[in-house]
Chain A
Amino acid sequence: MLNIKNIHAQVGDNKILKGLNLEIKPGEVHAIMGPNGAGKSTLGNVLAGMEKVEVTQGSVDFLGKDLLDLEIEQRAAEGIFLAFQYPVEIPGVNNMYFLRAALNAQRKYRGEKEMNSSEFLKLVRTKIKQMNMRDDLLRRPVNEGFSGGEKKRNEIFQMSILEPKLAILDETDSGLDIDALKIVADGVNQLRDDNRSFIVITHYQRLLDYIVPDYVHVLADGKIVRSGDKSLAIELEKTGYGWLED
């Protein structure tokens, strides 16, 4: 599904990714862990197409397409979803309006029929129930006045509506209490299937108790320095990242 080869990326003059390689197959969940400043979020931003990050070398193949050649919105329509670490508040843009515009823009891009308002409403009602979320969030402007937990849940809700092929969760667990963490993890687990893959960027092993990864990678100084299964996350929780300096 995703094949990242020797990616180098920088923000301004700051070189962050320095030859990163990663392959993800359909249905797999990959956790990316690592110390602060290692480049975890930058990896998510490279894949989603954030313009502040400049890719200077390497390639990313996503379902047979050169991902780096696509605009942000094209990547989304191709099936990439980035759950933001800091979801943006957009006053004045109603959540429902925004989501329907997003869903229909993606459907249009893929040559599918756009969804009318009653079809969309039905979809939203089903999904919000599945996600155990309050439906008053839908009537409010995007993320405006949401608590930290509500913002993260809204990201997962958006993901459930847009049904991406590859979802990147950028520290979605940060700032969540244990109940909110379970709701978010439940939402993600409901979306897991043989064709949808996830990259879970996190600092802590506790999220991986709920979203069990197939692979865990340690990212340090812009490269993946170690890979393993879930037990690697447990080991990191005990040992920290001091061993990287040895």
Chain B
Amino acid sequence: MFKNPINLAFEKLSGQLDEPKWLQQKRSDALKKFQEYGLPTRKSELWKYTNAKKLEKLEEVTDIADGNDYFVFTIKGELPQDTLMQNILEIDEKSWKNIKTDKERTFVELNTTMLNGGFALTIPKNSQLKLHIQYQQVSKDWENIRTVINVGENAELDLTESYDYDCRINHVSVINMSTDSRLKLHSNKHLRKTAALIHFAQINCAQNVSIEQGTINNNAALSHSITEVNFNGQHSEFEAASVNVVHDSCHISENILVNHKVQNCKSNVIKRSLATDKASVALNAKAVVYKAADGSDVAQSLKNILLTDEASIYSKPELEINTDDVIAAHGSTIGELDETSLTYLRSRGIPKEQAKFMLIESFLQDANIFKTEDFLDRIEL
């Protein structure tokens, strides 16, 4: 997909498409940029511990669900009458939002080049909506999906997004939050050990926005995500908690950048990761507090447990603070299960494996942001 075949694939795709010239131009420009950037290398900070070349050697997707014949997504939930939903390939040019890219975000360009599905959803002001969106694999090849969600003023969205278990998806998502809007985002990336997922998400916040995001990343041959949060209006809050659990030779890289561009916003990033066998996790959590962003409150907590000698975790919290009046805290730990706690549980008669499981459960519960009872049932431990 990434080397020579990309030109051929693009030619084939553009020959088949009956779409506006502006979009064809976007695809063509994006292809040039993708070819200019190339695949990310270990010189890029967000790909330092992720081998992008692994994407060229993936096993074929074999498990395509029945009924996944055309649409790369399904939506469960009722849309209010005045909700506007459009096929991403049919929006007008001015609704298209360019995303700033660089070598680390090269897959955003590839997504534009090969875009084959998605939607633009506009949720009216003052409405409340609960949706479950499933991103689907419809072919044996990569699905390039782009989604745009505009949440209107004082609207509330409870969104669950999940991906087909055996997927090969390159997803670009943009969420624009209007003033006083609220979002609960449940992101479920429980994937097959041969699956691959590349996800770039951009969340733009106006004033007085509240966002809670809970993510489960479980397995995948390679899962790489970059989330960019932009505080453009004051008094907005973003709280994100994620769990990364990997087995065998799986690899998850989770990267988040929070831009505190204006005053009095609050961000809290919690990550709990667990790696076993030969699996690996790479984490970056960065917050940039701009010069004018006094009153910012930033917290990052990255805790990681290695269950085997061959597993590896790279964990990097990062604060870039360019003003004085800021509350900021960050921390990162990597270690084994606490032997003292394990001994204490065993001393009360709890067998070693059960005691380990209890400690793992308690460790991961820190990231159960929505306090759901089935939280651990959704993770392959």
Q: Which residues of A contact B (CB under 8 A)?
A: 48-51, 71-73, 76-77, 81-82, 84, 87-88, 90-93, 97-99, 101-103, 105-106, 109, 141-142, 158, 162
Contacts and interface: CB of A to CB of B under 8 A. Distances in A.
Contacts of A50: 343, 347
B345 A162 contact: no
Contacts of A92: 361-363, 365-366
A88 B340 contact: yes
20 contacts: A72-B346, A72-B347, A73-B346, A73-B347, A73-B349, A76-B349, A82-B347, A87-B344, A88-B341, A90-B362, A92-B362, A92-B365, A93-B358, A93-B361, A98-B345, A103-B349, A105-B348, A105-B349, A106-B348, A162-B349
B328 interface: no
Contacts of A73: 346-352, 355
B344 A84 contact: yes
Contacts of B352: 71, 73
Contacts of B340: 88
Contacts of B346: 71-73, 76
Given A48-B347, A51-B343, A92-B365, 14 more contacts: A50-B343, A71-B352, A73-B349, A73-B351, A81-B348, A84-B344, A84-B347, A92-B362, A93-B358, A98-B358, A102-B345, A106-B348, A109-B349, A162-B348
A105 B344 contact: no
A97 B355 CA distance: 12
B68 interface: no
Contacts of B349: 73, 76-77, 102-103, 105-106, 109, 162
B354 interface: yes
B359 interface: yes
A19 to B, nearest CB: 26
Given A88-B341, A90-B341, A98 B365 contact: no
Interface of B: 340-341, 343-352, 354-355, 358-359, 361-363, 365-366
Contacts of B361: 92-93
Which of A84, A99, A105, A109 counts the most chain B CB atoms within 10 A?
A: A105
Contacts of A106: 348-349
A83 to B, nearest CB: 10
Which of B345, B359, B363 counts the most chain A CB atoms within 10 A?
A: B345
Given A77-B349, A90-B362, A162-B348, A105 B343 contact: no
B332 to A, nearest CB: 17
A13 to B, nearest CB: 20
B336 to A, nearest CB: 14
Contacts of B341: 88, 90
B359 A93 contact: yes
B363 A90 contact: no
A101 B351 CA distance: 10
Contacts of A162: 348-349
B343 A76 contact: no
A49 B343 CA distance: 9
Which of A87, A98, A109 counts the most chain B CB atoms within 10 A?
A: A98
A93 B337 CA distance: 14
Closest 7 A/B residue pairs (Cβ): A92-B362, A76-B349, A102-B348, A106-B349, A88-B344, A72-B346, A73-B346
